[in-house]
Structure 1
Amino acid sequence: MLQLCKLTDSLLISNSRSACDDGLLSGEGVTFCINVSKQQPFPGLRIGILRVPVFDDPAENIHKYFDRCADAIEGAGKAGGKTLVYCKNGRSRSATICTAYLMKYRHLSLREAFELVKSARPAVEPNEGFWEQLQRYEGELQSRQIGANSSTNG
């Protein structure tokens, strides 16, 4: 079944088959795609694209893309657009990137962010290595917040 699962007003998640259905993307108003894979195709539409070249392998460093992807999703949303994040099956890589975005910009805990993604797309299941990288990112975001608060209060 072809479908785009809505996480927020400006963020969707899917698999690569759905992501390459130009009619589906046009219908949803998608303006930017993040392809979290090394080999999956991009849609044919002329929209913004970003490739995150990682395999669904626990040893892959997906963490180094968290801020860049989150900032791109937020930027597209602020410009009035919608971002679709996808990987081959829409289960591990894309879910990891979406969860990182929700933690950074929606200020959700890892558990809250993941539950939001899982409720929109029940098939999601980041691999063990990606989950550990999300746990590390949650700690980093908390440290940044503490640092930002102490510099504004001083």
Structure 2
Amino acid sequence: MYKVIDNLFISDVGSAQNELLLTEVNSIKAVLSIMSFNLPLKLDHIVYKHIELMDMESEDILSHFEESFTYINSFRTKTPPESVLIHCQAGRSRSATICAAYLMKSSNMTSSEAIEVLDKAVPKGVYPNEGFLEQLKMYQEMGNKIDRDSQILKQFLLKKFAANMDNLAKLDDNVWAPDPLYDPNKGTTMSSSSLTSAVDCGDRTKSVNNDVYKCKKCRRDLFFSSSLLFHNKDVGATGDVFKRRKGTNTTCKNQSQGTICSSYFVEPVKWMEILILGVLDGKLCCPKCRSKLGNFNWSGAQCSCGVWVCPSFQLHKNAIDFSPQT
């Protein structure tokens, strides 16, 4: 068991069940377990929290950063402060990632700086797997917080679901982009005058006081400009469909300016639900006039600029009209 900063410790699973280390040596008051199974041995006077997670690159540890921070801080900010232990199986990857995220947010560190602090605290160093390191970098790029409107988070969540293609019967509510015509609070369509209000889509509330894209044939509102997903035209299109996107810059001006890309790539909009769930690929048709707007493919598709976008919800610009808010 090693002290990282005041009232924050990291260890393996063995030390997390050692009563002497927990109570007499380090006065631990709370334990955060990051493992695939819960601790079999617990002490009555210690508060426990368990996050079920395996040490695999494909695991989504990013989604647990905020709840972990809240839990840890609830003890460290008491008067007097109480000590918290974060542990996993070996104390080198999962617990180190959660600890690094806490340091980043609480002390405004970069991911590299947080890992360096942990390396100094743990004699043999810490070794978060590559997937966890990438998620720490995403967290840093979002300003050490979970930004639900961030392009980084949107594409990360979509890729997570795309990697699980065999189980696409349902998407989390926070993955869906709002339908401009649907008010989920009332279950009715929205008037044009209400487009400047806020729309809830699951736990994502976003301001829709922005531009709208319409079906060119029937003028049905299809998506907001905030639902656009951008990509980097300098990224090549060779290699594995998932790995080729790793570590790339996800911002590109081509889509908004229309200089190269012939299609818009968007988040899955709520009206697409009946078309895209449980199916690997297919057509995207207007929910009103049924004219073809584009295609989707959970394995990805190549844009006209040469970039491979995965997963792909692609709407052809020649079928879409841009309607700026006035």
Determine if the TM-score, normalized by the shorter chain, exceeds 0.5. Answer: yes
Distance 2:55 2:27 in 1: 28
2:32 is aligned to 34
Residue in 1 aligned with 2:143? Answer: 141
| Ranges in structure 2 where 5+ consecutive residues have no aligned partner | 147-326
Listed as ranges, the gaps of 5+ residues in structure 1 are 145-154
Structure with the bigger percentage of strand? 2
Report the Cα distance in structure 2 between the residues aligned to 1:108 and 1:127, rounded to whole angstroms.
20
Q: Which moved more, 1:104-113 or 1:41-50?
A: 41-50
Q: Counterpart of 2:72 in structure 1: which amino acid?
A: I
- Is residue 76 from structure 1 mapped to residue 78 from structure 2 by the alignment? no
Q: Which runs of 4+ in 1 moved over 3 A?
A: none
Separation (CA, whole Å) in 1 of partners of 2:82 and 2:130: 32
**Does residue 17 of structure 1 match 2:14?**
yes
Cα drift, residue 142 of structure 1: 5.4
Against the structure 1 CA distance between its residues 42 and 136, is the aligned structure 2 distance closer, same or farther, given a 3 Å change threshold? farther
Structure showing the higher helix proportion among its residues: 1
- Cα deviations by residue, 1:125-154 (Å, 9 ceiling, x for unpaired): 00000000000001112588xxxxxxxxxx
TM-score w.r.t. the length of structure 2 is 0.42
Matched, 1:51 2:50: yes
Q: Which residue of 1 aligns with 2:61?
A: 62
Give the alignment partner of residue 133 of structure 2, picking from 131, 134, 138.
Answer: 131
1:32/1:48 contact within 8 Å kept: yes
User: For 1:29-87, what per-residue CA distance to the aligned partner results, in whole angstroms no more than 9, with x for missing partners?
Assistant: 10110000012515421211111110000000011000110121111101121110000
CA 1:43/1:132 → structure 2, altered by over 3 Å: closer, same or farther?
A: same
Q: Which has the higher contact order (CA 8 A, sep 6+)?
A: 1
Q: Secondary structure at the match of 1:55?
A: coil
Identity of aligned residues (%): 33
Q: Deviations over 1:106-126 (max 9, x none)?
A: 111111111001111133100
Task: State the distance in 2 between where 1:42 and 1:136 align.
Answer: 34
**What is the aligned length?**
141
Q: CA deviation at 1:91?
A: 0.8
Q: Residues 24, 119 of structure 1: CA spacing in aligned structure 2 closer, same or farther, 3 A cutoff? A: same
**Contact 1:29 1:82 (8 Å CA) reproduced:** yes
CA distance in 1, matches of 2:35, 2:112: 24
1:118 is matched with 119
In the alignment, the residues of structure 1 paired with residue 77 and residue 6 of structure 2 have an alpha-carbon distance, to the nearest angstrom, of 11
Partner of 1:94: 95
1:151 is aligned to: none
The answer to whether the 8 Å contact 2:108/2:144 transfers is no
Q: Which amino acid aligns with 2:56?
A: D
Find the aligned partners of 1:95 and 1:40 in 2 and give their Cα distance: 18
